[in-house]
Structure 1
Amino acid sequence: MNNYLLFEVGVEELPSRFVSSTLDQIKSNLTKMFNENRIEFSDIKTYGTPRRLTFIVENISEKQSNLEEEVKGPSKKIALDADGNFTKPALGFMKSKGLKEEDVIFKTVGKDEYIFGTIRQEGKETSEVLKTILPEAVKNVTFPKAMRWGGKNMRFARPIRWMVTLLNDNVLEIDLEGIKSSNVTKGHRFLGKDEFEVNSLEDYLTKLEENFVILDQDKRKELIRKQCIEVANSLGGEVEFDEDLLEEVTHLVEYPTAFYGEFNEDYIKLPKEVVTTPMQQHQRYFPVVKNGKLLPNFIAVRNGNDYRIDKVKAGNEKVLVARLEDALFFYKEDTKKSLESYIEKLKSVVFQAKLGTVYDKTLRIENLSSNIIDLLNLQQDKDDTKRAAKLCKADLVTGMVFEFTELQGIMGREYARVSGENEAVCEAIFEHYLPRFAGDILPKTNAGIALSIADKLDSIAGFFAIGIQPTGSQDPYALRRQALGVLNILMDSKLDINLKELVELALNNYSN
């Protein structure tokens, strides 16, 4: 490729959640600084693995564009004194712009005259400008959590260990607080060479593949998807993909190899979410299903080849079984009692110091959801709504939800079924948390809709009443998300209801 820049930042294993955002931030920083420094380019391609962040700038100019810019200074009455000499403000303006007295003129703008001058600056070699731009592009990245290392002033998510900088096949010497750039990179931590030289962009891409690094994250993701499908097919099932999990796994490996593991069929008797939650959220495994039902298998992805894969398989099975044993224990213990019996414990769980306990909140939800049912003239759903409101938070104090918090609502529905509640009540308990995130499903049953709106409006009204409101940068109680949830439910359900009246009812709940 003609006129390219290859910039690789080598790091200790970067958390998967940071890879995409870090690539985007550095690309944005580079784009901004290239434009500010008059360096032309056609595109910046970004690639990321846990150990490296790579940027390929295409068709980068060899020099900055020459600068010719007219600048405006103070008005004539400020720029000249009574004797017609330049004043300190005028001289200061000229000095700041690198102008001499003979370089400036006066022009009329509106009713006044102003001092003007033209800055002319010949463009520097791109190689010189990059020595400042590249370190700053890295230093200006922000993280929710960052660290310092080796006595350096800069912060990064993980220590930076090496840099590769090639400008048109030539090594560009960059210094990032003592980290010197070169043409030496590293292969896969276990399968590749510890260090090797690259002499061009093509050489870099070829040698990385030879050293078991699939640099392109999109290619890596599709390879993982393909491998998982093939493994699932060999088991007579289908892999159940979660795109967020697939993205996470993609950024955990440089050379993926998918394999399957097995577990005891007894665990399949548990509710599906009880098995898949520790599988996906805690172990980063993909479930295998057949006709919608779980098979006693999972698919994991190794960062490496298939050498001694049987040992890796056994290790992963052992870890998952420990998790499933915990889930099975909690399920058996929780279902020894009815869901209703857990309600009393909610009196000891604080919702918010000024807004009472979770038990108090359930009473407000019960009252407000009944009001919503009345306003919608859905009396046939009132009993189910009241019953679901009474039970909707009970699963929060069960062992399962205490251990796996992401199962709140899901376990409420399952425990309600085990306790003999009717299906409308069970579904409403689950639906009252919906939507949980952007793009999530919305409640569909009348009882679920009423409960979800009541739960969210109760939180919004209560927190605003005690002066806790979202700011531009903070929303610790997710009030924005809950407000959007209410609006999405109302629009999706096409409910004819007065939102102002609902808010007033929610506020009145706190005064009763």
Structure 2
Amino acid sequence: MSKTVLFELGVEELPARFIDDALNQLESKTEAWFKDARIPFGEIKGFATPRRLAVQITDVADKQPDLEEEAKGPAKKIALDDDGQWTKAAIGFSKGQGKDVEDIYFKEIKGTEYVHVTKFIEGEATEKLLEEFRSVFLSLNFPKNMRWADYELRYARPIRWMVALYGNQVIPFQIENVSTYRTTKGHRFLGSEIELQNADEYEDALNKQSVIGSVNKRKQLIREQLDTMQQDKGWKLIIDEDLLNEVTHLVEYPTAFSGAFNEEFLDLPEEALVTSMKEHQRYFPVRSHEGELLPFFVGVRNGNDHHIENVARGNEKVLKARLKDAQFFYEEDQKGTIDEKLTKLERMVYQEELGTLADKVNRIVAISGKLSEWLELDEKEQQLTKRAAEICKFDLVTQMVDEFTELQGVMGEKYARLFGEEEAVAVAINEHYMPRQANGELPQSTIGAIVSIADKLDTIVGSISIGIIPTGSQDPYGLRRQALGILQTLEEKGWDLSVEKLIELVHHFYQELDLPTRSKEEISSDLQEFFRVRAAYLLRGDGIDPDVVEAVLVNGIGRYSTTKDKAQVLVAKRTDETFKPVQEALGRVMKLAEKTEDTNVDPNLFENETESKLYEVYQTTVPAYRDALEQDKPAEALDALSSLASPIHEFFDHTMVMAENEKVKQNRLSLLNVISMNVREFADLTAIEWKQQF
């Protein structure tokens, strides 16, 4: 007979950002636990609020299914002695399986007979097995844990109650001083304790005590309330999905309300207003249907609509105070000059071993200047780039950014305009922080992109130089994200800059500045590998198979956009049947070329026509091949290499590479090696798992 099982973990309020991942973990680990325990079940339904994580499992069988297993033992020749009697090996095997030698039979496997027994394993009762479910609660991982009282357990928040029911029976287990029972808690202010009679009534019982346990239902209710408010008031709410998700995890019983603020605050930069409302107060800003920001906001209360007007007035007072601060900061920040603000960077430590923010800015200026030269910017653009680099961090000393750190760069752009800087410089200050998150917006202007790359390169090279290298989930300086931003920006711009050249440039600046670093070789190796791993990550994300990724990165990244194009060409070729002869020819050359490092080819040592012909085709092919590579036309480059396939096959058909004459042998290997080196510059074709169908 099947029953419903319920497990609920009651805690002090969880941070909203913990909840989605915790619930996903609980659902997936519950499924894995039931499968590992061999307990048949129907559906798993998860619930989560700030005060609880729960799973309800339907149609849970009352016992494990019985098993009849066949166990394999030693070979017959080991199980029987010369007299046909059972050996100790056979007797020990049967006892170990809970059987007797009379139960043994033989089965042939690949021509050899082995001892076997069939054993019956009776399924255990589900009720008893469920007591071990506590391990699932204890296995949940959180971004940050804490200890409380004198307990050893570290958890996201203190555990206050637990519910564990199998049908109408309590499943007994304990974590620290909390034991399971059938009592859960309703809304902190609107509800009361609930004694559940059975596991099936969980969601309805919560609803009656003003708790909407389903995350999706709670989110949908908030969305419906917001939509109703928009229609009733003629507004257009800025419904950010991340904010909606966060608000959903802050409440157990949501009720939307609206408030207003003084129109004078609309003179503040819109970003400051929106940030104050969204990031600090968790409000939804309001626009007109024409897109104009209006002096209203919408919040979500954790409760019902009783005295909702008082709630709105209280929130208006809180927002007014925050906007007053922003107004003051905005006015104060406009006093003085940008150059006066830059002097304050000299007193702000960027990183203890890497100096102040002023030191970092100086490095950004130097790197940006070199990039401007390489990209052959005209004199005016170089001047603008230098100015943008010089003042790219000035807004970090403003009171507005100090209060609203999310606005770094945004306020820099606005203040730069107010202080009379060129438009291109103002835009670049904001853009140099892009992309701000994974797959975020990239800098669009040339100047913004240059300063962005310079800033990120400085951060990465500086950090890795002093041994700050991301490990596992630890990446406090966001180096992985910044490396991805560099690669994505280079691809977007299509600039003819190799990643290795950029790394070497910045590494050289650090050596000239005599900043504390590890050995040059060690740092260079770490930097190359760090960027290679990030490039591989991006390529795989674009659907490139891992073996192709490794093949095109064998010699480093080079120009990232070209490397990506090479990978896409090879992905298409790997299933192209007409490419098989080319792949076989070039692959065979590369494997044989591993036997020498010599590249000196002497045509006078050729002994047959196929050698001469291959060398001749090679000499005429390489210029076209290299020209195609330099013009970033990998498909044409590979087509040029393909012309070598036929003479290569003829060469192998009529030529013994490993000739008895040592000079002839080395000359032939050298010929293959010079061809291989050119092929390898495209990719290591031997690393690819070809998938042509024949």
Q: TM-score when scaled to structure 2?
A: 0.67
Preserved contact between residue 130 and residue 171 of structure 2 (Cα < 8 Å)? no
Match of 2:34 in 1: 34
Match of 2:213 in 1: 215
CA deviation after TM superposition for structure 1 residue 250, in Å = 0.1
Provide closer, same or farther for how the CA distance between residues 308 and 122 of structure 1 changes in structure 2, counting only shifts above 3 A.
Answer: same
CA distance in 2, matches of 1:360, 1:57: 59
Q: Which has the higher contact order (CA 8 A, sep 6+)?
A: 1
SS in 2 for 1:31: helix
Match of 2:479 in 1: 479
Preserved contact between residue 43 and residue 59 of structure 1 (Cα < 8 Å)? yes
Read off the aligned partner of 2:307 and give its amino acid letter. Answer: R
Preserved contact between residue 350 and residue 360 of structure 2 (Cα < 8 Å)? yes
Percent sequence identity over aligned pairs:
48
SS in 2 for 1:164: strand
Q: Which has the higher strand share?
A: 1
Provide closer, same or farther for how the CA distance between residues 75 and 251 of structure 1 changes in structure 2, counting only shifts above 3 A.
Answer: farther
How many residue pairs match? The answer is 507
CA deviation after TM superposition for structure 1 residue 225, in Å = 2.0
1:119-198 to 2 correspondences below 5 Å: 120-132=120-132, 134-149=133-148, 152-167=151-166, 169-177=167-175, 178-198=177-197
CA distance in 2, matches of 1:466, 1:81: 69
Structure 1 residues 109-157: Cα deviation after superposition (integer angstroms, max 9, x where no partner): 889998876654211122221111x211111112233334465544432
CA distance in 2, matches of 1:165, 1:282: 38
Provide closer, same or farther for how the CA distance between residues 13 and 471 of structure 1 changes in structure 2, counting only shifts above 3 A.
Answer: closer
Provide closer, same or farther for how the CA distance between residues 39 and 333 of structure 1 changes in structure 2, counting only shifts above 3 A.
Answer: same
Provide closer, same or farther for how the CA distance between residues 457 and 131 of structure 1 changes in structure 2, counting only shifts above 3 A.
Answer: same
Aligned: 1:257 with 2:263: no
5+ residue gaps, structure 2, are 513-694
CA distance in 1, matches of 2:103, 2:397: 78
1:305-320 to 2 correspondences below 5 Å: 305-320=304-319
Preserved contact between residue 388 and residue 428 of structure 2 (Cα < 8 Å)? yes
CA distance in 1, matches of 2:46, 2:186: 18
CA deviation after TM superposition for structure 1 residue 158, in Å = 2.2
Match of 1:511 in 2: 511
Provide closer, same or farther for how the CA distance between residues 79 and 221 of structure 1 changes in structure 2, counting only shifts above 3 A.
Answer: same
Structure 1 residues 320-339: Cα deviation after superposition (integer angstroms, max 9, x where no partner): 12211221222111110222
Structure 1 residues 196-226: Cα deviation after superposition (integer angstroms, max 9, x where no partner): 434352x333232222222221121122122
Match of 2:639 in 1: none
Match of 2:496 in 1: 496
CA distance in 2, matches of 1:115, 1:355: 70
Match of 2:445 in 1: 445
CA deviation after TM superposition for structure 1 residue 235, in Å = 4.2
CA distance in 1, matches of 2:321, 2:368: 41
Match of 2:627 in 1: none
Instruction: Name whichever of 189-198 and 344-353 sits farther off.
Output: 189-198
CA distance in 2, matches of 1:110, 1:386: 76
Provide closer, same or farther for how the CA distance between residues 196 and 5 of structure 1 changes in structure 2, counting only shifts above 3 A.
Answer: closer
TM-align CA RMSD: 3.1
Preserved contact between residue 232 and residue 299 of structure 1 (Cα < 8 Å)? no
CA deviation after TM superposition for structure 1 residue 416, in Å = 0.7
CA deviation after TM superposition for structure 1 residue 46, in Å = 1.0
Provide closer, same or farther for how the CA distance between residues 399 and 104 of structure 1 changes in structure 2, counting only shifts above 3 A.
Answer: farther
CA distance in 1, matches of 2:140, 2:434: 34
Read off the aligned partner of 1:362 and give its amino acid letter. Answer: V
SS in 2 for 1:59: strand
Match of 2:275 in 1: 277
Match of 1:64 in 2: 64
Provide closer, same or farther for how the CA distance between residues 128 and 304 of structure 1 changes in structure 2, counting only shifts above 3 A.
Answer: same
CA distance in 1, matches of 2:163, 2:72: 42
Q: TM-score when scaled to structure 1?
A: 0.89
CA deviation after TM superposition for structure 1 residue 400, in Å = 1.8
Match of 1:230 in 2: 228
1:42-57 to 2 correspondences below 5 Å: 42-57=42-57
Match of 2:469 in 1: 469
Match of 1:375 in 2: 374
Preserved contact between residue 185 and residue 194 of structure 2 (Cα < 8 Å)? yes
SS in 2 for 1:295: strand
Read off the aligned partner of 2:143 and give its amino acid letter. Answer: P
